[in-house]
Structure 1
């Protein structure tokens, strides 16, 4: 068995038992990253990775049991890493090197992870596909390298699915962990608002959060255990004192489900299949599954509001970070968002937030009697490179329509593998839990994994 075939949990166990060394494991992954560079998983490789691994081996030999000690890890290129280039997916920031880590990156470093590099992302995380002007090629799903691995955590998903990383750091503002997980047959978890700190960023409306990308539910829980430590002063910070790795579900759950897209687009047959087969498995496990109407639709006011909100967010980031003499290096879609932002008044932004809050509240009210919601993760398979030419915002919304409401509501959500279709394309299923019941959601996911909801089907690159 090759080292990358071991789960992250198995690798940590082998490291602690001194059956493998961190340097050996790190070298294995670095070699694979170089061999599969065409998949577009990485922006930057950390030249100090082997030195980090050697120091981890010394600590392991001395009996140190830091939770991730010696485990290779990739950091999404939207998160600041001290002394390591962080481009935010933008050619305008191609040489930016932060002086310090973001809060969550600092936690992962303190836990002993060995940073192999920065995984690919879209410019400022603004699109649900991972293509930019920093890397020579987009992040693609290893299952079909002519198709995007979604975004904005596309590089993280590509790397884990292709066996270039055991597990990866990612982030999710409207589905950016969950949709890449679906395109790459992975587990992707978006935690509840405040569980993982957004520091140094701060906002009253926090839609984006960092979370794990993994092959197994246990691996996702291991990484979340380290990430879930709020920074002092976090507006929504909270702790789960029991941790996340117990994965023990003790009760029958009441589950709502729907497949309606809420857009003008019909439900894709494979998305429908993903939900129906998962509902059947849940019922076999003893849970109560009920189909209900979609609580709210992506009507024109809501669609305009979310576009305005994204434009405002991207506008704020670029104003803070991009020098005026480098704005010409921004991609066309980013410039479109900036142009929209320039037309927005403060009242427009507040009203957009209020409308999105009402949209999210409609979902919460409709599912108040349920423990979990079941939907597709995406409305269809991974899309071909170039698919979003034209009205990008409309095309992205029609494909990723099922995930944003969980961000706006601040509740936990996870994408699990469902099946690989006759064309070899992966499809995911989406489970949304109640606020701060992240442990319960992970336990349900583990139950589905144990019930063989999905087969461990690897892409061709896994074997090379």
Structure 2
């Protein structure tokens, strides 16, 4: 007999609407799996059974009246970097372990309004500052269910671990330099970073922000369903926009013509070679795209990431985290920050305004080089990560001063897309001989998210990766 979590999120919604399962039954199923399995996965910071059951009861009442909304009765996890009214939001920091906001972030509010059943907050590194998910709030790092001795990446590591292990049907995530895509790759999932402005950052507002929320899911169609809910601009958005068609319909509609796709595996970093399995992932996907009728052209990476660019990335990261963290935490609790956060704050205190502006200028030029280099192509194909999920503790080998370089060497394929504002999606490629997942990244033109999702769905139909699961899936 098929267990509820074995159905796709879209199929679960269909079952809810048809009366084949109640939201209460579905919610109880997932709460039981969280209770039994999460201790080994570190997927959740906070689980909210009382709120979830109340949400489910309301959903069942609405369904009984014949009412419907896009996520009515579907369990969902929210990333712990985003405020949730009445539910603690720690930002992955022990300094904020008891903080309970009074208002929802804009996207969180959209998910609640759509009828989602809120199961809790998924694990994240402190202030989202790392591509691994380990903090002083939870007893366990977020690990990939394929090997519980390896990180599920970050900063959406908890979301990815939960979906891959069948603790959630789909999850809310956020991506500032790869934080949705790299966790998806470590957990054999689909992760979407939308075009700049598609998902509102409200209540935040900035002339220069690389962070955008999006879905982590098992299938492209599940991701498209959640993205349709999130893609609603706040009236004050500087870059807000909406597509003319839904992502759900794009994921079921064939592409009208073949696409011209650029491909590379070079890391752009001197002395950092591409991992053989990452190369294999791209080659496999390029071959499949060719069989589907698309043109794939191997090119050199349009811009390298060494010298001034690497320094600019570090400077902007230091400035963003090092100035934001102290504003959120009272002075008498800042001693609870982790060593890496303390390191970033200290570095930010010595930065000048000129250094910040210079970093932004260097990175703007870097992003423009990518856009110009890809102008003749419809999309780009790269690995998502430079190698498999890394062992717990990997990034601590060279102390806090060495963390940034180790992280960039592994996640080097993703940050440029946040700078250009293009849409990107990480798709599963294969599981290697050690049982570890690998993913590929597809990048579309700015605001061509619909086309990107359509191509991803075409690949999914040709290579049904949703049938691959970690060992705990059947527990």
TM bucket normalised to smaller: over 0.9
User: Which consecutive segments of 4 or more residues in structure 1 shift more than 6 A?
Assistant: none
Of residues 414-423 and 40-49 in structure 1, the stretch that sits farther from structure 2 once superposed is 40-49
Task: Measure how far apart 1:454 and its partner are.
Answer: 3.6
**Could you tell me how far apart the structure 1 residues matched to 2:378 and 2:466 are?**
26
Per-residue CA shift, 1:191-221, capped at 9, x if unaligned?
0000000001111112000000000000000
1:223 alignment partner in structure 2: 226
SS at match of 1:36: helix
Of residues 295-304 and 87-96 in structure 1, the stretch that sits farther from structure 2 once superposed is 295-304
Alignment TM-score, normalising by the size of structure 2? 0.97
**Could you tell me how far apart the structure 2 residues matched to 1:299 and 1:216 are?**
35
2:26 alignment partner in structure 1: 25
2:123 alignment partner, one of 101, 120, 123 = 120
1:457 maps onto 2:468 in alignment: yes
**Could you tell me how far apart the structure 2 residues matched to 1:462 and 1:146 are?**
17
Alignment TM-score, normalising by the size of structure 1? 0.99
Which 5+ residue runs of structure 1 have no aligned equivalent? none
Q: CA RMSD of the aligned region, Å?
A: 0.8
**Could you tell me how far apart the structure 1 residues matched to 2:240 and 2:232 are?**
8
1:195 alignment partner in structure 2: 198
For the Cα contact (< 8 Å) 2:323–2:345, is it kept in 1? Answer: no
1:328 maps onto 2:335 in alignment: yes
2:147 alignment partner in structure 1: 144
1:169 alignment partner, one of 167, 172, 178 = 172
**Could you tell me how far apart the structure 2 residues matched to 1:320 and 1:342 are?**
13
Superposed, 1:14-413 pairs within 5 Å as 14-37=15-38, 38-46=40-48, 47-246=50-249, 247=251, 248=253, 249-263=255-269, 264-389=271-396, 390=398, 391-413=402-424
Task: Measure how far apart 1:453 and its partner are.
Answer: 6.2
**Could you tell me how far apart the structure 2 residues matched to 1:455 and 1:317 are?**
38
**Could you tell me how far apart the structure 2 residues matched to 1:116 and 1:343 are?**
41
Aligned length: 464
1:439 alignment partner in structure 2: 450
SS at match of 2:147: coil
Per-residue CA shift, 1:237-286, capped at 9, x if unaligned?
00113111112221110000000011121110000000000000001000
Of residues 248-257 and 140-149 in structure 1, the stretch that sits farther from structure 2 once superposed is 248-257
**Could you tell me how far apart the structure 2 residues matched to 1:453 and 1:84 are?**
36
For the Cα contact (< 8 Å) 1:418–1:453, is it kept in 2? Answer: no
For the Cα contact (< 8 Å) 2:23–2:73, is it kept in 1? Answer: yes
**Could you tell me how far apart the structure 1 residues matched to 2:105 and 2:307 are?**
36
**Could you tell me how far apart the structure 2 residues matched to 1:162 and 1:455 are?**
12
**Could you tell me how far apart the structure 2 residues matched to 1:184 and 1:428 are?**
9
